[in-house]
Amino acid sequence: MKEQQTVKELAQKFEITPQQINTWKRDFLKEADTVFSKGEKSKKSEEEEKKDQLLKVIGELKVENDFLPAVRQV
């Protein structure tokens, strides 16, 4: 990020393609505001957490629905 070396020099030093470095840099800059935030959840993690909670509820409801017909037959 400090551009002390060229992308070409870095690519040679770490034996990767210059395109990979440019991709990493672009991705980092796109999400830079969330990288160093302390204690704050990124939007992705909040969305993932909500998705996980919903999947858990769906799973619990499915178990209940599968269990109820078995109870009625007894």
Q: Residue 32: pLDDT above 70? A: yes
Residue 48 structural domain: 42-74
pLDDT in tens, 41-74: 556 678 888 999 999 999 989 988 877 766 666 5
Task: State residue 71's pLDDT score.
Answer: 63
Report yes or no: 47 and 58 within 8 Å, Cβ to Cβ: no
Supply the pLDDT for residue 74: 57
Burial class for 10, CB neighbours closer than 10 Å (0-12, 13-18, 19+): middle
| 52 found inside a domain | yes
Q: For the whole model, what pTM was predicted? A: 0.45
Both 23 and 49 in a single domain?
A: no
Across the chain, mean pLDDT equals 82
Q: Is the pLDDT of residue 38 over 70?
A: no
Are residues 26 and 48 both part of a single domain? no
| Sequence-distant (≥ 6) Cβ neighbours of residue 13 within 8 angstroms | 5
Please, what is the angle between helix 7-14 and helix 18-30, to 10°? 110
Q: Quick one: pLDDT band at residue 1, thresholds 50, 70, 90? A: low
Quick check: is 36 in a domain?
no
